[in-house]
A and B are shown apart, each in its own frame.
Chain A
Amino acid sequence: MKKKSYTTFAAIHLGSEKISMQIVEYRSTDRCKIVERCERSVHIGEETFKNKNISFATVNEICDILLGFKILMKECGAEEYSLQATTAVREALNQPSVLDQIYCRTGLKVDVVDLPMEIYTTYIAVRNTLKKEKISTDREGILLMDISSGGLGLVYIRDEKIEYQQDFHVGAIRIKESYERNKRESTHFNRALTEFLSSTFSPISKELGVEKVRYLVLSGTETQLLLKVLGLEPGQDIYRIKAETFHDFFANIQAFNVSQLMQVYALSENAAELVLPITILYEQLLNLIPAEEIIITSDRFIDGIQLLHIGRKTDEDLCKEWEKELISLFHCLGSHFHYDKAHACQVESLALAIFDKVAKDYGMGAKERLLLRGTALLHDVGKFVNLRSHSRYSYDLIISSDLLGFSEEDRRIIALASYYSAHQLFETGNKRAPEVPKRLVSIVGKLAAIVRLADALDRSYLQKVKRCQVSIRDKVLTIAVDVPVNFTLEEWTFANKADAFTAVYGLKVQLERIVK
């Protein structure tokens, strides 16, 4: 049979409320066709949020559904798949057993994504839709809010840069399951929930209070429910509603109880129980960050899985765009902690020059390059807390931050590399040194060594190096710099830091000045 000119990919999301699959035939990000869509309700989230475990019966149900999906994949000739699990599986204490059972029974491997990565994945799909609709961020910002069952992610974008990002452990199902039924049915529930959310979100208004937000873009699992109660027909990619319309709607709906919601909006009990928490959430955010217009997209996490997969395989330009946005997130975080931007950029530039020379021979690629950039830009943020032992604070701040688009492990690598760019990797007796898991020693060491050298070359924080050329010959890495002013401090610092680089890379390092 003639070879296919397209690839068939199955994106599967093991979510808190549903298991969904989307099978797409693609040649590029612009040439995609969804050939199969299916989803089944499975109430995993309720079990995890209440009992912290996923029951055996539910695991069986999940496996049966996945086996069915596997058949559909064969029917469509799918060659690639990605099965990703989010909140409910992520937070289940018996997660390892669950994943093992799924693999043994279905042969499918599950990737459990953490919250920032989950939100980023949906974010990618939403950004793509907004770009297609030509919704620009040039003059006024867009606040993207993605609410999943267990979490909420906020991203503020202006001029195509991420200016603010924060995740919250507040999601539709989580709220519902955090309060028992009798509390939810209490006449004081709305008020209590409003106050809880207000206090949870108040830091946002401090961060974004001066920003002008034109659009509030909503996405997530419960937007379909919101569309239904707003009386909008499903099936469109995008919906636009004036903020006043939403306020009026909220004023009406908060008077209803669950039974009334079921009747008026023809909802199941489960769905009706989610309506109030969701609308209160949205209303609270609209009050904190007034926007002119609300945009609801139909993009879901699974659309993000699809776009990320296809983009990474076929669209280098798009990947570069994504990377650019992630870099802006580093700057956003750095700026939040009052970093020295010029110094951070200089370290980044010098580190990249070194990285690009050694990467290929030392098993590093695009992913590691991005992590290096993060390390370089954020290595000094700890000075925000205290100038003494700032590297430890850098580690603490980075590890505690939500880094959209980076997994927990990625964040850990950046945090560790930041710390160890200022310390010896295997220094004994330092009780404050964060532990490096064995599997991360190599990458942390490599990135830290590069940043250490690059940092040394800007020890004065004056960005003396105007131009830099890196070469390797006969096991010697030579960094030739064009420096028009006195470079003594940097030369001395460089000499002290070179050994650490040699220890990791097995290359001698020398610094040369370019003579004009």
Chain B
Amino acid sequence: MKKKSSADTGAQAPDLTRPEYFYNRELSWLKFNLRVLKEANVKETPLLERLKFIAIAASNLDEFFMVRVAGLCSSLENGSEKRDAAGMDPKEQLDAISAAAHELVRKQYHYLDELLEELAGVGLQFVRVADLSDANKYWLENFYRENIYPVLTPMAVDASHPFPFLANKTQNLGVELLTNEGERSMGLIQVPNVLDRITEVPGREGRTFVFLEDIIASYCADLFQGCQLLDVVPFRITRNSDLELEEDDIEDLLEEVERSLRKRKRGAPVRLELYKTKNDGIRKFLCDNLDVSDQEVYEIPGPLDATCFFKFAALPGMWPWLYEPFVPQRPSELPDDSDLFAAIRKKDILLHHPYESFDPVVKFVSDAASDPKVLAIKQTLYRVSGNSPIVAALARAAENGKQVTVLVELKARFDEENNIIWARRLEKAGCHVIYGLWGLKTHAKIILIVRQEANGIKRYLHLGTGNYNDNTAKLYTDLGLMTANDQLGSDASAFFNILSGYSEPPVWNKLAMAPLSLREKIYSLIDNEIALAKAGKGGHLIAKMNSLIDQPMIQKLYEAGAAGVQIELIVRGICGLRTGIPLLSENTTVRSIVGRQLEHSRIFWFANGGDEQLYLSSADWMPRNLNDRVELLFPVEEPEHIARVKAILDLYLRDNVGAYMMQSNGTYRRVRNKAEKVSAQAALYEMAQLAVAADVPPMEERLKPLYSPRGKFVGDE
């Protein structure tokens, strides 16, 4: 198809600020969450994996309300009428979000109903307490008395007992009572989150499960002595959970984050999930006391808080309905990692997680901790796993006398507490710990190791697109580069000197750093494609990221599109760019890949007239990444690596199993075509497995005995 450009038509430069050229961020996100939810409806996927997608979508939605919706509510409360790029003010956004979220919830529970039926078909039944046999009820009641009753605290709400504070994301039961005096009153019972949400009832054929709130609702009558229980309705409250850090006046960021964490649990309610009920009295009681509007009430025709299914799917014996275990493979570029430094010196190593194991990255730090030649280790930590082996290695390195500098980002949302614990531990071990930067979140993923070698110090680097979290490294797709390139090493040293406050930004060799120069670097790469397109040499770029919502960046892409550059975007989540706009984005495609792995890598490929350029980055194209975070963009220069990553991108572009394509009206449609079925994720996993198999010597060779060189058996005198 001939690429059209505005130069062809001689049209005047369009106004790229027009609201109709942009999608609203929140609504785009809800579309992404819908794509996640739709994975629950893929019949080929194992049952419990589908159930987990419902849980994922529910968890995503929780965070969405706690942060994004809460932010809009605050803006509305403050009287803001500021419009976003799509021309919507806070009220319009909240209205639209409500409509879309309600529809999403409706679909969620439709899929859940179907799934629960299918689960029952394989012998995994969720039943109401009322439907249990007498024997089961007897067992259950005893269970209730011994395990649940002792931790329940009923709360009456009346003139002398005000409505209590209900913490964020807690599930509660609204209770309507009739007093002995014949008056109606209300009470509350918190569903304790220390207890398992789902209880297995023994004895029946197959496996039978009941929900905790149902158990409590069935047996809680005696909690309210002297009253008659009229109705019990489960509900769940979601509160504003964005931390408010007053960075202007703080001297101790650590203390301020701890203070704010305590405040998080008490933000204003932004959503009330209410089990579907005809009891308007309880509904009104809750809405009035929690100060939520109708728009903020979600009627749930099923079990509240679907995130409970994560734990459910992990119960013993569930393996028949789960994926085969995913085993990250030994990296094809590291057949022997016994001497990592030697391997990296020989050539750069590219790792593709989770298909390839994260172990070499952990080993990189671990080996450095024990290597007497290592002088210093520096690393950024954004989200770490609990009991992280990397953190343990850093502590050990400091104890072994290395100079260890760690930037622990305290402001990693919802990981703040976790990170505070690790920061203190590292400091105690003797590391120089930097608790983030005053006005920026450090999101770059980088490890620098300085080693004293025969010819001088040598710097070894790991640069990545994903966090140093060995747990998420098994779930998220990410790329990492291990290199001993001197110029990158010098840049990395300068980067840490900036973060440590020792130095000002240098003239960079190869790295680009946000918020200083990363945006401009990307602009220059796109401008290069524009120039090539205008010169008739064809411009082409492929960009993979998690979110694209930065308005100037989208405008730059429109400018490129207008010049005739072919643009292929792989954006997992939020995308504010519209495809199909005449003369602006007719040459632009947007696809989203959703599947077993969470797409997380940030890859930027530029044709550059045949001399391909490839960059990886920690940054998505969002204002927060480009303006308010410390991020890195780094080149991948080995031709074999460029070819390898280009092949990965081509797979994503051919994917017709997990891929959705953005339509010109902003909806997403699954890519279904007559071509052979290609699942990028499955193909990449298979490739990783085959690469390992190819390295294994044939059985004949492996069966060869080892003799001592003198012809005697090993061990003979």
User: CB of B164 within 8 A of chain A?
Assistant: no
**C-alpha spacing A36/B489, complex, angstroms:** 10
CB distance from A38 to the nearest CB of B (A): 3
**C-alpha spacing A71/B404, complex, angstroms:** 10
**C-alpha spacing A340/B375, complex, angstroms:** 59
User: CB of A35 within 8 A of chain B?
Assistant: yes
Given A4-B452, A77-B452, A235-B507, verify A65-B502 contact (CB < 8 Å).
Answer: yes
Select from chain B the residue with minimum beta-carbon distance to A234.
B507
User: CB of B503 within 8 A of chain A?
Assistant: yes
User: CB of B497 within 8 A of chain A?
Assistant: yes
Q: Which of A1-45 contact B (CB under 8 A)?
A: 1-2, 4-6, 8, 25, 33, 35-41
User: CB of B494 within 8 A of chain A?
Assistant: yes
Q: Which of B471-498 contact A (CB under 8 A)?
A: 493-494, 497
Given A72-B497, A74-B375, A75-B376, verify A41-B504 contact (CB < 8 Å).
Answer: yes
B375 touches A38 (CB 8 A): no
Given A33-B456, A35-B456, verify A1-B372 contact (CB < 8 Å).
Answer: yes
A75 touches B375 (CB 8 A): yes
Select from chain B the residue with minimum beta-carbon distance to A68.
B502
CB distance from A105 to the nearest CB of B (A): 16
B503 touches A38 (CB 8 A): yes
* B494, B497, B501 interface centre (most CB from chain A within 10 Å): B497
Given A68-B500, A75-B450, A76-B450, verify A37-B506 contact (CB < 8 Å).
Answer: yes
Q: Report the interface size class on chain A.
A: 20 to 34
Residues in chain A near residue B375, CB distance under 8 A: 74-77
User: CB of A81 within 8 A of chain B?
Assistant: no
**C-alpha spacing A40/B502, complex, angstroms:** 6
Select from chain B the residue with minimum beta-carbon distance to A67.
B502
**C-alpha spacing A235/B372, complex, angstroms:** 35
User: CB of B199 within 8 A of chain A?
Assistant: no
**C-alpha spacing A289/B242, complex, angstroms:** 66
User: CB of B403 within 8 A of chain A?
Assistant: yes
**C-alpha spacing A35/B503, complex, angstroms:** 15
A36 touches B403 (CB 8 A): no
A71 touches B403 (CB 8 A): yes
Residues in chain A near residue B372, CB distance under 8 A: 1
B454 touches A5 (CB 8 A): yes
Select from chain B the residue with minimum beta-carbon distance to A38.
B503
**C-alpha spacing A1/B401, complex, angstroms:** 15
User: CB of A69 within 8 A of chain B?
Assistant: yes
Q: Which of B457, B501, B506 contacts A35 (CB 8 A)?
A: B457
**C-alpha spacing A38/B490, complex, angstroms:** 11
Residues in chain B near residue A76, CB distance under 8 A: 375-376, 450, 457
B504 touches A75 (CB 8 A): no
CB distance from B314 to the nearest CB of A (A): 44
A40 touches B503 (CB 8 A): yes
Select from chain A the residue with minimum beta-carbon distance to B376.
A75
A72 touches B457 (CB 8 A): no
CB distance from B313 to the nearest CB of A (A): 47
Select from chain B the residue with minimum beta-carbon distance to A4.
B452
CB distance from A268 to the nearest CB of B (A): 12
Select from chain A the residue with minimum beta-carbon distance to B503.
A38
Select from chain B the residue with minimum beta-carbon distance to A36.
B493
Residues in chain B near residue A40, CB distance under 8 A: 501-504
User: CB of B373 within 8 A of chain A?
Assistant: yes
Q: Which of A57-79 contact B (CB under 8 A)?
A: 64-65, 68-69, 71-72, 74-77
Residues in chain A near residue B376, CB distance under 8 A: 74-76
Select from chain B the residue with minimum beta-carbon distance to A2.
B454
Residues in chain A near residue B507, CB distance under 8 A: 234-235
**C-alpha spacing A42/B494, complex, angstroms:** 18
User: CB of B510 within 8 A of chain A?
Assistant: no
A38 touches B497 (CB 8 A): yes
**C-alpha spacing A37/B507, complex, angstroms:** 11
**C-alpha spacing A1/B372, complex, angstroms:** 7
**C-alpha spacing A71/B502, complex, angstroms:** 10
Select from chain A the residue with minimum beta-carbon distance to B405.
A71
User: CB of B432 within 8 A of chain A?
Assistant: yes
B502 touches A74 (CB 8 A): no
Residues in chain B near residue A69, CB distance under 8 A: 502
Select from chain A the residue with minimum beta-carbon distance to B401.
A74
Residues in chain A near residue B405, CB distance under 8 A: 71
**C-alpha spacing A71/B503, complex, angstroms:** 13
7 inter-chain pairs at a CB distance below 8 angstroms, sorted by A residue, are A2-B454, A5-B454, A36-B493, A38-B494, A40-B503, A68-B502, A74-B403
What 10 new A-B contacts, CB under 8 Å, besides A37-B494, A65-B502? Answer: A4-B452, A6-B455, A36-B493, A38-B497, A38-B502, A40-B503, A71-B405, A72-B502, A74-B403, A235-B507
Instruction: Sort A-B residue pairs by CB-CB distance and give the 7 closest, nearest first.
Output: A38-B503, A75-B376, A68-B502, A25-B456, A75-B403, A38-B497, A77-B452
